[in-house]
Amino acid sequence: MSIPYEIQNKIVNIFATNPIFLKEDSRRAVLAHTGIDDELRSLINTGGAPFTYLANLIEVLSEYGELKDGRNALEAFLKSTLNFVGVEKKELVNDIIKDWQLTYSKKDIHSDSIVNYLNYIVNKWDNLASPLLPSNRKLSEIAVQLKLCRVSSSDSNENLRSLIRKYKSVFPLSKGTHSLKELLIKMPDVKKWAVLGDPGTGKTTLLFNEAFFLAQEALKNYENPIPFVISLSIFSQNYEKNLCFSLFDYRAYA
C-alpha cells in the first residue's frame, strides 16, 4: 500500500545523513541484513543520492507488502536499521514503526470489514421485501412519486412541513425525470438532501436502492464513496438507552 508522505519524509530525514546509506555497497549490506526476498531485491535500485535512494526504497518496500516469511517489508527494513543508529534515533525509528504498523493495519480493515459491510448493503437491497407485494414482484420494480429538496445547514432545525413550504422548487423522483444518483453527480456541492413523500411511498427503499448501487461501485474500486445508511429511529432508540451509543455501535447493531 502507498505510504503516507509524512512517514516517508521522516524516514528519509533520519537516514539521509547516515554514513551507511552513502555508498551502494553498504546499502546492499543493509538490505541483506534485512533478509528481503530476491524478487524484491531486484526491484530496488541502490544507486543515486541518499535522499533519492531512500525515497525510492521506501516507496518500493511499502508497495511490496509482505515478504515470503510473513514480515512486512518496510517494517522489516526499519527494524534492521536499529542496529545502525544511536539511542536518540532508535526512539524516532521505533515511533515510525508504530505509525507504519497502524497505517498498514488499516489495509486489513479496509479489505475485510469494509468489504463485508458493502456486501451487507448489497444483500440488504437484494432481500428487501414487502408483505404488500406478490412474491414475483421486486421492490425495485415499483414506481414511487418522491421529491427531493436541497437542505442547507441553517435548515437543520426546521420541521418537514416548513421545509416543504420553503422549497417550492423541488426535484420529482420518478421514471423518466430525475434520479437521486443523477442529482448527486450533477450537484456535488449540495451536501444535504431531504427525500419528501407520504408514508409508505418508498423513501427508505429509495435510500437502500441508492446505497446498493454505491456499494457495488465501491466494491469495484475502494476510492469510490462508501454508503452508510442510518435509521434515525433505531439510532435514537439505542441512544436513549445509552448516551454513549455511537455510529460505530450502530454499525455493529445493524
The residue among 153 and 185 whose pLDDT is bigger is 185
* pLDDT at residue 38 tops 70: yes
pLDDT digits (tens, 9 = 90+) for 80-96: 999 888 888 999 999 99
Cβ atoms of residues 75 and 101 within 8 Å: yes
- pTM higher than 0.75: no
pLDDT one-digit tens code per residue, 119-171: 777 776 666 666 666 666 666 555 445 555 555 545 445 554 555 455 444 55
Give the per-residue pLDDT at 109.
45
DSSP string, 85-135: S-HHHHHHHHHHHHHHHHHHHHHHIIIIIIHHHHHHHHHHHHT---TTS-T
Number of structural domains found in the chain:
3
Lowest mean pLDDT among 49-53, 89-93, 225-229: 225-229
- Say yes or no: 99 and 20 in one domain: yes
Yes or no: say if 171 and 148 are a contact pair by the CB < 8 Å rule.
yes
* Across 216-229, average pLDDT: 80
Domain assignment of residue 121, yes or no: no
Is the domain of 153 the same as that of 70?
Answer: no
- Kindly give the residue spans of alpha helices, DSSP state H, lying in the chain: 5-15, 24-34, 38-41, 50-64, 73-81, 87-108, 115-126, 160-166, 180-186, 203-220, 232-241, 247-253
Residues 230, 219, single domain; the answer is: no
Provide the domain limits for residue 171.
Answer: 128-223
Mean pLDDT for the stretch of residues 110-125: 69
User: Is the domain of 79 the same as that of 152?
Assistant: no
Letter string b/e over residues 40-54, b meaning 16 or more CB atoms within 10 A of that residue's CB: beeebebeeebeebb
**DSSP state at residue 21:** G
Which residues make beta-bridge pairs with 194?
Answer: 149
Is residue 76's pLDDT more than 90?
yes
- Assess whether 217 and 230 both reside in one domain: no
My answer on whether 154 and 201 are in the same domain is yes
